[in-house]
Amino acid sequence: MGTKLKIAVDSKKLGNLGFDLVAMCANDILANGGEPIFFLDYISSSKINENDFLLILESINLACLEAGCSLVGGETAEMPGIYKPNEFDLAGFCVGVVERKNLLQKKNVQSDSVIIGLESNGFHSNGFSLIRKILEVNKIKLNSKTPYKSKKKLLEEDLLEPTKIYVNDILPLVKNNLISSIAHITGGGLYENLERIIPKGLRAKIDFKDFKIPEKFLWLSKLAKLDPREMLKTLNCGIGLILIISRNKLSKVKKYFSTQKIVYHEMGIVEFSRNKEKIIIEHYGKWDLT
């Protein structure tokens, strides 16, 4: 789950780590059309703190319940000399299954398909090496007041908002063969993750003017003087999962979203292209990239 773990340790707030750990695995399985079945964890430290261990294990178990999979085991290791006091590492993996006919591959994507984005609920679990560096350079403390509009009072609480698990919302669409392909927006941001699911000869054209970029991403961009392209190559910038839907299946998908009260955004289309560049972003909220 990367260096987000460092912020949790420094803030002494470990209660959401299990959701980040499970979500990153479960959402990746979903992106292949799979259903998470079971999960195993790995916790290593110089010395296991029983209270911290139980708190993390409880959060992993709760996250597995939300993802619809079982926590079937794992490994707990004490390695003094490898880790400093009060430091630990956390990892895990998930196994899923998928019917061959439901396997999501980029070869399923056709021209004139529609690109749908589902909102993230924060920074999720990537880009935290950059975030930590920006905070350090600007001498911003984790326990300072959240400097942008947020439900969380403290910056550390907002940064540790757990990664959203999309399995329950999207798996029914996969099982009903209504999705061509899925991109889970993690490290590499929108550009790299979306590019993976666009076949040769096609490109994704994003024109997303009406989207309201969450203030936390605008704040970070302004604070670090980051170009919008760099933001979109590094962070999810408000969209955590992207679906590519064939035009003839779009009405059924929209009806499902409406019935389930799932917020979605039409981001653009897939079109023919002779260029090597697979992703064209013209507008992303207030950012003009033309």
pLDDT at residue 158 tops 90: yes
**pTM of the complete model:** 0.95
Question: Based on the number of CB atoms within 10 Å of its own CB, is 201 exposed (0-12), middle (13-18) or buried (19 or more)?
Answer: exposed
Q: In this structure, are residues 58 and 19 in contact, taking their beta carbons and an 8 Å threshold?
A: no
Q: In this structure, are residues 205 and 277 in contact, taking their beta carbons and an 8 Å threshold?
A: no
Mean pLDDT, rounded, for 155-171: 96
Strand 35-45 versus strand 202-208 pairing type: unpaired
Backbone angles phi, psi at 150, to 5 degrees: -160, 155
**Cα separations (Å) of 272 from 157, 279, 281?**
44, 12, 15
Q: In this structure, are residues 153 and 146 in contact, taking their beta carbons and an 8 Å threshold?
A: yes
Residue by residue, DSSP assigns 25-88 as HHHHHHHTT-EEEEEEEEEEESS--HHHHHHHHHHHHHHHHHHT-EEEEEEEEE-BTTB-TT-E
Mean pLDDT, rounded, for 237-259: 97
- Using one digit for the tens of pLDDT, what is the confidence trace for 250-281? 999 999 999 999 999 999 999 999 888 999 99
What confidence score (pLDDT) does residue 83 get? Answer: 86
> Of all helices (H) and strands (E), which one includes residue 149?
none
Percent pLDDT > 90 in the chain is 91
Same domain, 83 and 200: no
Same domain, 59 and 147: no
Q: Give residue 117's domain range.
A: 106-288
Residue where one domain finishes, among candidates 102, 124, 149 = 102
Same domain, 96 and 110: no
Same domain, 95 and 136: no
What confidence score (pLDDT) does residue 84 get? Answer: 85
Residue where one domain finishes, among candidates 50, 69, 102 = 102
Q: What is the CATH classification number for the domain harbouring 98?
A: 3.30.1330.10
Mean pLDDT, rounded, for 162-180: 96
- Using one digit for the tens of pLDDT, what is the confidence trace for 77-103? 999 889 888 888 999 999 999 988 889
Q: Rounded distance, CA 250 to CA 130, Å?
A: 37
Same domain, 252 and 115: yes
Same domain, 57 and 135: no
Residue where one domain finishes, among candidates 73, 102, 131 = 102
As for how many domains the chain has, the answer is 2
Same domain, 116 and 201: yes
pLDDT at residue 1 tops 80: no
What confidence score (pLDDT) does residue 106 get? Answer: 92
Backbone angles phi, psi at 93, to 5 degrees: -145, 155
